[in-house]
Structure 1
Amino acid sequence: MSTPVDRARPWEDGRKSTRIRSSSSPPSGSETAAERLTDDLLVEILSRVPGRSLCRFKCVSKHWLGLINDRTYRRKLPQTLTGFFFRETSEEQLVHPVLPFTNLSGSRSRTSLTFLPNGRKAFLLDCCNGLLLYDVSSHRGKRRYVVCNPAMEEWTELPHCDHAGWVGIVHLGFDPAVSPHFHVFLLTDQLNGFGLPGVDVCSYVYSSETGRWVHKEKKWYWDIDLVRVHSAAYLNGCLHFFAEINHNTLCLAADKEAGTMIYSHVPPLNDGFMQQSQGCLYYAGFGRDDNDDNVVRLLVYVLEDYNSKEWILKHSIESSHLCGGQHDVDIEEDFCWIAIHPECNLIFFTLGWDRTFMCYDMDRRQLKVICNLENCAPPYLPHVPLYEELQSLHK
């Protein structure tokens, strides 16, 4: 196994905090100098403090509050991946009021969700930039969805969605750097009922801005199947997901108006996995080596130019490098995707029967064993805490 990467990498827990004098502190020469800092320099300083501290710094002054809430600067301020929610093998689903969590160093904890409405079963479906999406079963048997922010203990219940057909994909879309509003995407597919090839894919999208669902139906005249329902990425206001059409894997996109379109063809990979990272779509999976069919390689593609729809090969490495010395591992059977880091070139996954939690650094081509997750089960949902009040989550 390669030497683990150093502890300054992004998967470690905390950052060095920067101590900043509040406006109520006694006058000093350094305070006078700080007041002369431009907004760009001040934001550069604030970007180096932990997210929880940044939330407290909103109280320093109205000017700081305005800077921290300014969406022009939001992408520069800390929104760091802290770990993953998961379910325990003893549970059927991810159920509140307690949610298992592991941080990027492998330490376990439990997140309390007792602020959610009581008396109903709730199942965690998705997590996006600090918000959680729950499926809540009411006493009347109607399915409803709840979106919450555990960092601020805020939540809202969505109006009932009267959908029909098999629910293939349910995902949450939220980007606080772009808008304070979130979207919930619900896609169903069903046979067209006329004995013809193909299915009707129905898109339902909820907008917290309008407070209502919109619905559109797309008729496909090919053999289409929604696949890899846990692999989807929200980017540029659209949910990107996979579908098999005529035995080819395509990336489809659903927008906030519930329109569904073919976005691009994707390279043929086994166990393909897609996520958003560094403002681009990343697509990773396993493929046979062109020169040796017995060699399996991890291949990572990136859509650097969103408009070109061309996937560029970013990284390639023999899959044996990911086994970390485990010789009895079948990489295509025992490998389970967890996430691609949203800010850097790190891949998180589990490997083997004991679910060894690992991280691979594409830049350094180095592997790190984090811990064992033998009593845990997917889906593993990446969590970026959001220390910001959202009007859309007020009950």
Structure 2
Amino acid sequence: MEQKILMSSCEKGMKECDITNDLLVEILVRLPFKSLCRFKCVSKSWYRLISDNYLRQRLPSIATSLFFRSESDQFNKARYAYTSSNGTIQDCNLDFFPFNDKLLVVDGSNGLLLYYASTSSTFYVVNTATKSWVSLPKSKKETHLSILAFDPYSSTDYKVVCFTAWRARGAQLEIYSSETGKWDQHDVEFGIEPDAMSTTKHYFDGLLYVLVYPNMLVAMNLMKFSCKLIRMPESINMLSRVGHCHGRLHYAHINGNKLKIWVTNYLNRKWGLKNEINLREIMGRRDYEINNPNQVNLLVFHPEEEMVSVWFHNWKMMWYDFKERRLIGSWREKASVIQIWMFPCSNFLRNCIA
């Protein structure tokens, strides 16, 4: 129905229609993703409007994707599943990638997976949305840590960041850019000793965030190769996570039975406590006690909604709505969760390694 109405408006000519581009954008962002893709064929002006960065950044996420290894799978294959907009779980396989059972997954970023073949020192980037993949040219040096940096809200381009050597308060990097198709070497100064860096990282809008013990966050600019140190509101641990929600940096932290969530202030960039929750109360289990970090895990912040995903070992994975202060949804398969990310409703993700 919405297609016929908008097509009819277009056929009458935009000059005869009182709908401005601003009003048209407000209509388009409320349409189903499939309809939006069809409307790109209406005219060149509509194609440009729908492809514009401003509209793309306003589109909501349409699904949550989960990459995991299931304990019930006798072959322990890497799999991925996603929840559709109506909340149903759909399990997908990665058999389209011919080396899925032979290579090691070293990282994932917003729908892309980074595989590594140690025998040939080759990286592969796999797009789970389009079921396509590409092999990268071989890097020049051995890597100690490899990170995939991809932000589909802003670009089709991605980077593979390899830490090839640690230095006093810094490191040597070798970075592959899909835009240039080659590796480049860079030096970066963290301002702290590299052995204090945790494995908890987050990439957003050109910045790579890494939590650093005991209470710091490194924000690394992958364009200028400069770093900024941000003091955290509370000492980090294995259950600490950073992420963006509505464009603002959030920090979640579990200590004992308490889940705390902070957010940065727009004006002074300082942290403010947004939520403090007793896990036993929201789970309805007074006897619940977190004595082992493997019993619970924080996974990722939702980029559009005020929610963070929480995974409970041998129980379920759920979203915690820290605005309504309640747990919602569940996924009950007994699985070892590796990573979770959001599939953005973005042409960039569809066009990346298309």
Q: TM-score normalised to the size of structure 2?
A: 0.82
Unaligned ranges ≥5, structure 1: 1-17, 193-197, 289-295
Residue from 253, 256, 264 that aligns with 2:222: 256
Deviation at 1:391, TM superposition (A): 6.5
AA partner of residue 270 (structure 2): E
- Report if the CA contact (8 A) 2:9-2:17 is conserved: no
Q: Secondary structure at the match of 1:348?
A: strand
- Report if the CA contact (8 A) 1:100-1:108 is conserved: no
* Distance in 1 (alpha carbons) for counterparts of 2:16 and 2:275: 43
* Distance in 2 (alpha carbons) for counterparts of 1:155 and 1:261: 31
AA partner of residue 110 (structure 1): D
* Distance in 1 (alpha carbons) for counterparts of 2:273 and 2:18: 46
AA partner of residue 263 (structure 1): L
Aligned to 2:278: 318
Deviation at 1:117, TM superposition (A): 5.0
Aligned to 1:179: 155
Question: 1:47-70 CA distances to partner (integer Å, 9 max, x unpaired)?
Answer: 112323322222232222111101
Residue from 336, 342, 349 that aligns with 1:377: 336
- 1:52 pairs with 2:34: yes
Deviation at 1:101, TM superposition (A): 0.5
- Report if the CA contact (8 A) 1:93-1:123 is conserved: no
- Report if the CA contact (8 A) 2:148-2:160 is conserved: yes
Q: Percent identity?
A: 24
* Distance in 1 (alpha carbons) for counterparts of 2:229 and 2:152: 20
- 1:364 pairs with 2:345: no
Q: Secondary structure at the match of 2:26?
A: helix
* Distance in 2 (alpha carbons) for counterparts of 1:316 and 1:110: 34
- 1:213 pairs with 2:183: yes
- 1:235 pairs with 2:204: yes
- The verdict on how the C-alpha distance between 1:155 and 1:60 changes in structure 2, with shifts beyond 3 A counting, is farther
- Report if the CA contact (8 A) 1:209-1:392 is conserved: no
AA partner of residue 123 (structure 2): Y
* Distance in 1 (alpha carbons) for counterparts of 2:17 and 2:289: 58
AA partner of residue 235 (structure 1): F
Aligned to 1:203: 173
* Distance in 1 (alpha carbons) for counterparts of 2:271 and 2:9: 56
Q: Secondary structure at the match of 1:225?
A: helix
Q: Secondary structure at the match of 2:25?
A: helix
Where do 1:1-395 residues align within 5 Å?
19-21=2-4, 35-89=17-71, 90=73, 95=78, 99-103=79-83, 107-116=88-97, 121-129=102-110, 131-137=111-117, 141-164=119-142, 166-167=144-145, 169-176=146-153, 178-187=154-163, 190=166, 201-218=171-188, 223-225=193-195, 227-229=197-199, 231-244=200-213, 248-257=214-223, 259-267=225-233, 268-270=235-237, 271-287=239-255, 296-305=257-266, 308-325=268-285, 327-330=287-290, 333=293, 334-351=295-312, 353-374=313-334, 376-385=335-344, 388=347, 393=353
AA partner of residue 238 (structure 1): L
- Report if the CA contact (8 A) 1:172-1:185 is conserved: yes
- Report if the CA contact (8 A) 1:149-1:386 is conserved: no
AA partner of residue 89 (structure 2): R
- Report if the CA contact (8 A) 1:238-1:253 is conserved: yes
Query: Alpha carbon RMSD of aligned pairs, Å?
Result: 3.5
AA partner of residue 182 (structure 1): Y
AA partner of residue 185 (structure 2): H
How many pairs are equivalent?
Answer: 348
* Between structures 1 and 2, the one with greater helix share: 2
* Distance in 2 (alpha carbons) for counterparts of 1:378 and 1:164: 28
Deviation at 1:94, TM superposition (A): 6.0
- Report if the CA contact (8 A) 1:125-1:135 is conserved: yes
Unaligned ranges ≥5, structure 2: none
Question: 1:144-202 CA distances to partner (integer Å, 9 max, x unpaired)?
Answer: 222333333443322222333532x52322233x3332222233564x5xxxxx57533
Question: 1:76-128 CA distances to partner (integer Å, 9 max, x unpaired)?
Answer: 22333434232212478764xxx330417764333344443559734444443
Q: Secondary structure at the match of 2:53?
A: coil
* Distance in 2 (alpha carbons) for counterparts of 1:149 and 1:43: 28
* Distance in 2 (alpha carbons) for counterparts of 1:45 and 1:136: 43
Question: 1:291-349 CA distances to partner (integer Å, 9 max, x unpaired)?
Answer: xxxxx4221112233x8552222222223234332624427632111221110111211
AA partner of residue 314 (structure 1): K
* Distance in 2 (alpha carbons) for counterparts of 1:153 and 1:55: 19
